[in-house]
């Protein structure tokens, strides 16, 4: 039986809330940590809506929904995470911010065997791990949005990650969380985003050049290639700021033109048109 039972998520945005819900639905003692009280309240509401939605759709029973909620605690101070066995960092896709969080967590956690995981989409894990004194226990655990629905998790070892720690977390993700795990080397973008982001950027360049409307670009890929949603819809779902950050990380590592963020993407991010989470991106949305 896997020993990772006391877990936490730092960062209560869309991804952090979703990961916390996954943990709670698996019966784990889960703390959601977010210093911003407004963001913390929003996370509570987001998780509550998601659990009710899952119950309404028949994916959870009412008892399972109640049990999941009972496994959740909310905190605004990292000190509350001292006894955690696994902490997933899910803050903004910014290397400086992530490094600061991981450094602080390293000092807070009392268990020398505790695992620090980052949900980064593209930042090399080695860079983040060496900011701590436990680089052997730092790895990438990359969930996909929406985390309670998407079955995949990318598991990424840094150059310092202990192989036994990697096996321990892989077993946790598969056996406790019920996720499908793929392993990736510690390269910018890992597996999925290294393939996906150039496709999204190509769609943005097509819209930028006026070759077709956003609606027609998306319709072409949905009805012509049987994709569940079009590339610009997907970019809106991910968040255009996150797409930009991943693209910048990929371009920084490889210096290949296909990874360069298009000017339109940068302008939209500057304008606060981030996609679904802001209410408008390439398409209009109800803000979440």
Q: Is 193 assigned a catalytic role?
A: yes
Which of 119, 145, 158, 193 is flagged as catalytic?
193
List of residues 6+ apart from 183 with CB closer than 8 A:
154, 155, 156, 157, 166, 170
In three-state secondary structure terms, 118 is strand
Q: Is 121 assigned a catalytic role?
A: yes
Which of 154, 158, 184, 249 is flagged as catalytic?
154
- Phi, psi of 38, deg, nearest 5: -65, -45
Distance CA 247, CA 236 (A): 15
With vertex at residue 269, the alpha carbon angle to CA 264 and CA 273, rounded to the nearest 5 degrees, is 95
Q: Is 2 assigned a catalytic role?
A: no
Which of 17, 121, 249, 278 is flagged as catalytic?
121
Residues 123, 95 contacting (CB under 8 angstroms):
yes
Q: Is 202 assigned a catalytic role?
A: no
List of residues 6+ apart from 106 with CB closer than 8 A:
116, 131, 132, 133, 134
In three-state secondary structure terms, 243 is helix
In three-state secondary structure terms, 236 is helix
Closest C-alpha to 251, from 99, 86, 155, 123:
123
Which of 17, 93, 119, 142 is flagged as catalytic?
142
Annotated catalytic sites, by residue? 121, 142, 154, 193
């Amino acid at each position: 039986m896997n020993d990772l039972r006391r877990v936490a998520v730092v960062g209560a945005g869309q991804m952090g809330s979703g990961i916390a819900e996954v943990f709670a639905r698996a019966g784990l003692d889960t703390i959601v940590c977010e210093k911003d009280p407004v963001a913390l309240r929003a996370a509570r509401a987001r998780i509550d809506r998601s659990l009710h939605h899952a119950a309404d759709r028949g994916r959870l029973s009412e008892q399972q929904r109640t049990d999941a909620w009972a496994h959740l605690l909310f905190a605004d101070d990292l000190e509350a995470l001292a006894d955690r066995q696994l902490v997933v960092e899910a803050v903004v896709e910014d290397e400086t911010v992530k490094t600061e969080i991981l450094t602080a967590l390293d000092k807070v956690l009392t268990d020398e065997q505790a695992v620090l995981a980052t949900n980064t989409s593209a930042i090399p894990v080695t860079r983040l791990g060496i900011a701590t004194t436990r680089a052997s226990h730092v790895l990438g655990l990359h969930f996909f949005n929406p985390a309670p629905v998407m079955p995949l998790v990318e598991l990424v070892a840094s150059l310092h990650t202990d192989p036994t720690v990697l096996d321990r977390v892989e077993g946790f993700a598969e056996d406790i969380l019920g996720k499908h795990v793929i392993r990736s080397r510690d390269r910018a973008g890992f597996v999925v985003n290294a393939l996906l982001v150039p496709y999204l950027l190509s769609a943005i360049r097509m819209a930028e050049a006026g070759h077709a409307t956003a609606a027609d670009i998306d319709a072409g890929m949905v009805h012509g290639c049987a994709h569940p949603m079009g590339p610009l819809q997907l970019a809106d779902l991910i968040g255009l700021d996150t797409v930009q950050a991943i693209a910048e990380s990929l371009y920084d590592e490889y210096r290949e033109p296909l990874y360069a963020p298009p000017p339109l993407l940068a302008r939209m991010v500057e304008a606060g048109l981030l996609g679904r989470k802001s209410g408008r991106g390439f398409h209009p949305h109800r803000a979440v």
